[in-house]
Structure formats: C-alpha cells, structure tokens
Amino acid sequence: MSRCLIPAAAVAAAAAILTAGCASAGASGPGALDGAAAIVPANAVSFVAASTDLTSSQWHGLAKPFLQDAQQYESALGNEVDVAELPGKQVVVLTQPGDAQKLDTLAAKKGEQTRKIGEWTAIAKTRSTLDAVANATTHLASSSAFSAAMAKLPEKALVRVYANGDQAANFLFAIPGAMQSTSAPGGIPFRQGKTRQVGGQNVAMTAIDWLAAAVTSESAGLRAQAFVKTGGLVAPSPPRFIVRPMTPYRSSLVDEIPSGALFVADFQAPPAMFEWNGVPKPLQQLLGTKLSVTLPTELDQIFGGETAIFVTPGAPIPTVTVVTQPPTDTVSAGQALDAILNVVPDSSPLHDMKLVRATIGGQFVISTSQTGIDAFRGGGAKLSNDATFNEAAKQAGMGQDSTGFVYANAKDALPLLELAGVKLPSGLPSLTTFFAYGDAATHESTFTAFLGVG
C-alpha cells in the first residue's frame, strides 16, 4: 500500500532533491509542524509531505500521467500524504482519509495495517512500525533540526522534504563532483560521523546537520530547491584530508561547447572522484565487471578539473561528447580509456562503437562522432551565446558561478527520444527546458532546479 499510495509524492520528492524563499517553521500545508510531524518519532531518518490535489493547476498538468493510478485511492486519502522513514528502514505512510473504511480495505488487500494515531491514520507493513509511531515520546515537530530545516522552505509548497545528517551525506555523495578533498586518498568513501585512516592519517568529512527541500509552482513551471546545512569537521583529531562540499566556480566550457546542445552536464571532477564515491551502477553496467577492482583508478586517470558531458543533434542519432582535464596528462588518460574499452562486454553499446578522441588545449575530448570533436574545436556559435540556454539559466536563478549545472532543451530533445522509440508518459504536457545547479556558502549548500512547462 505504501508503494501504491504515494506515486505522486515519490515523483515530487525526487524532483525536490534537486524553490527558493523563506517561511516560518509554523508554515501551513504539507510538512506543517502541527501536522503529521507532531506524531512522527523524532529519530525519523527522512520525512516527505505532499499535497494530494493532483488536479490542481499548480502541477501544470505534470501529474496527469499518474492520475489514473491514483484515482482509486482518491476518496481514501485526505488533502495530504506524508511518508516517514524510521531507523531500520521502517516506512510509515500517514494521511487523514476521506473514507477511513475504504482506506482500511485497500490496506488489507495489500497486506498492510492501519492505526488511528491522533488525528492521523498510519499505514505500515508491520505492527512494530505502527507501535514505534504510537509509542514515540518525542516527535519530529519538536526537533530543532527539523524546525530549522522547515523554516528554510517557502510558505506555499506542494511538497516538503526533510532528511537527517546521514541521509543528507548520502545525497551529497551521490552527486558527481559534489564533494571534494584536499588530497586523493583513494579507497571507499566514509559516511556521516565516521573517520578513516589513510596512510596513518585521519580523514574527516564536514559534518552535515540536515537537508530540507521543497517543490513550488510558478507561472512558467515547477521550481525545486534543496538546502544542506553543514557544520564543523567530524574528526577525533586534526585530519590530514578533509572532505567538504565543492566551492563555486565559473564555467569556462560554456564558451567551447557548441550552441544548440540538447543536454549539458558541467561539473568539477575532484581528485580520486571515483575512488571516493564509487562508480555509479549504470556506468558499471555499461562498462562491465572485468575491471571492477581497477575501474575507479582507470576512470580517475581520465576525469579531472572542469568536466562536461553534452549531447548535440546528429544523424541518425545525436552525438554524445565528453570533455575533461585529466589529472596527469592526456596520454595516460588515453591509455586508461583503452584499458576500459578493451574489456567491455559484448552486450555493452560501447563494444562495437568507435569512439573518436582528441587533445585540445590540454583537454581530453571523447565523442561518438567526429562532428562532436569538430563542433567543440570549431569557431561557431557557443553555448554561452545560446538564447535558450541563457533563458533557462536565468529562469532557474543561476548566476555566473555554481558548483555545477545540468541543462536540457526538453522541447527539442523529447521528440527525438520518441523517434528513437522511447515511450514517454501519455498526457505529458509541453515541456520547454530543464535547468538544475548547485551553489555553496559558509555552512550551507543549495541545489536548485526549474522545469519549464509551455
């Protein structure tokens, strides 16, 4: 039932992890301190509160593809659905049902249990999870961390999200280039509150207090923003290496990436990025497992400095190009790339693909087409003068500096995906652009995204 009741909340929460404004800790709407947060245990790992009015114009029609699945639950739910994760991966859904009997029936069909706790009905797989909520003596609403997190969010939010320090640390480590260290220690990453020994030296990470996020509606689309509150260092003694959020930089690659790009991801690749953060699973699957032990080292020989992945129109398929600044030299980067490509599995799209590479001003450029190399090297119009890109960046609110950004020209890219056989959700409204970026200040990192709807 918990998986069935919250499809829209889950989608919105995912977007939220990527709305500016301020609100009081007593803001009304999803996530209010006098709402479900008043009964959720204070040790909750994360908390998502979402409005269930998917027909509202505030969603710009983006919820339409999910309405059919959610319609059967409409009378069983109230105006808000909240999801809390407790320690031990216990998940509880809370709502104020319009039809309590129907909710009980639906829960029973899914093998889940319900219990009335205060003014809310809790839904969970096990009785012990419901007991944990019912018997809690301290609650999320009384937590100073939760109150501070909610105070960062706008008054009129469709979705509000909270995560404690451990979950926020996991979020940061999941973003390529979001964390940096003063050296390249190698090995597996550590998590919140943990330290490691590297060559007899202590390693520490900046303490993370909480994450708060929200999704809000604007006239031209949906805005999402996440705030990550950081504190001092987590270490028993002065560390040799310090892992902390990335500092903002001014992109130079926007003056080299060709105008008209359908997709761009630009970020700073810190030293030993893959050794610290691991290799993302999709990349592991693409490259295979024959280099599972050495793959992080090989990748770290290729990627360094400001790095961009961009997609440009092409025939019969768009061209994908990667540009980076290897930490040693482009010769070593080329050798590392060859080592990877020589053992990719037959099932990988890279197996029969001839990649083109070039060294341009110390940059290592890899592309699926020579046209990608030529467009990057050439003197034609560049991304920094692309009107669609600049309008999307302005709409999102990014200044000249950021800790990285992602841009997509959805209006031009989605029809190409459909031609390629990608099945898009039916009833999807006309999308214009998507733009997300990060920023950082003393003791705070922010991640903002804007999805334009035509």
pLDDT value of position 377: 95
Q: Are strands 80-86 and 120-124 parallel, antiparallel or unpaired?
A: unpaired
pLDDT value of position 62: 87
Q: Among 181, 436, 402, which residue's Cα sits nearest to residue 300? A: 181
Q: Does some domain include residue 195?
A: no
Residue listed under structure tokens 């070593």: 332
> Does 295 lie in the same domain as 149?
no
Beta bridge partners of 211: 163, 228
> Does 253 lie in the same domain as 159?
no
> Does 252 lie in the same domain as 146?
no
pTM: 0.84
Q: Does some domain include residue 223?
A: no
CA gap 197, 54 in Å, rounded: 50
pLDDT value of position 28: 61
DSSP assignment of 31-62 equals T-TTTGGGTSBTT-SEEEEEE--TTSGGGTTT
The number of distinct structural domains making up the chain is 2
Q: Among 37, 332, 413, which residue's Cα sits nearest to residue 212? A: 37
**Residues in CB range of 336: below 8 A, 6 or more apart:** 298, 299, 301, 302
> Does 153 lie in the same domain as 257?
no
pLDDT value of position 232: 61
- Of 164, 192, 212, the residue that ends a domain is 164
pLDDT value of position 172: 72
Residue type, 393: A
Residuewise pLDDT in 10s, the chain (454 residues): 343 333 333 333 333 333 333 333 345 678 888 899 999 999 999 999 998 887 788 889 887 776 666 666 666 777 889 999 999 999 999 999 988 998 999 899 889 999 999 999 999 999 999 999 999 999 999 999 999 999 999 988 999 999 998 888 777 766 766 666 544 344 333 334 444 443 444 555 667 889 999 999 999 999 999 999 887 655 555 554 455 667 899 999 999 999 999 999 999 998 888 877 778 888 888 888 888 889 999 999 999 999 999 999 987 889 999 999 999 999 999 999 999 999 988 888 888 888 999 999 999 999 999 999 999 999 999 999 999 999 999 999 999 999 999 999 999 999 988 887 888 888 889 999 999 999 988 888 899 999 999 8
Q: Does some domain include residue 209?
A: no
- Of 164, 180, 199, the residue that ends a domain is 164
Q: Does some domain include residue 177?
A: no
Dihedral, CA atoms, 267, 269, 270, 273, nearest 10 degrees?
Answer: 120
> Does 152 lie in the same domain as 252?
no
Q: Among 116, 123, 68, 73, which residue's Cα sits nearest to residue 94? A: 123
- CB atoms under 10 Å from CB of 76, counted, come to 21
> Does 273 lie in the same domain as 158?
no
Structural domain boundaries enclosing 96: 2-164
pLDDT value of position 444: 86
Lookup: tokens for 261: 């790009």
For the chain, the residue count is: 454
Q: Which helix (H) or strand (E) holds 160?
A: strand 159-164
CA gap 443, 401 in Å, rounded: 18
pLDDT value of position 167: 80
Locate all alpha helices (DSSP H) within 62-126, ordered by sequence: 64-71, 100-109
CA gap 257, 320 in Å, rounded: 12
Q: Does some domain include residue 206?
A: no
Q: Does some domain include residue 57?
A: yes
> Does 269 lie in the same domain as 152?
no
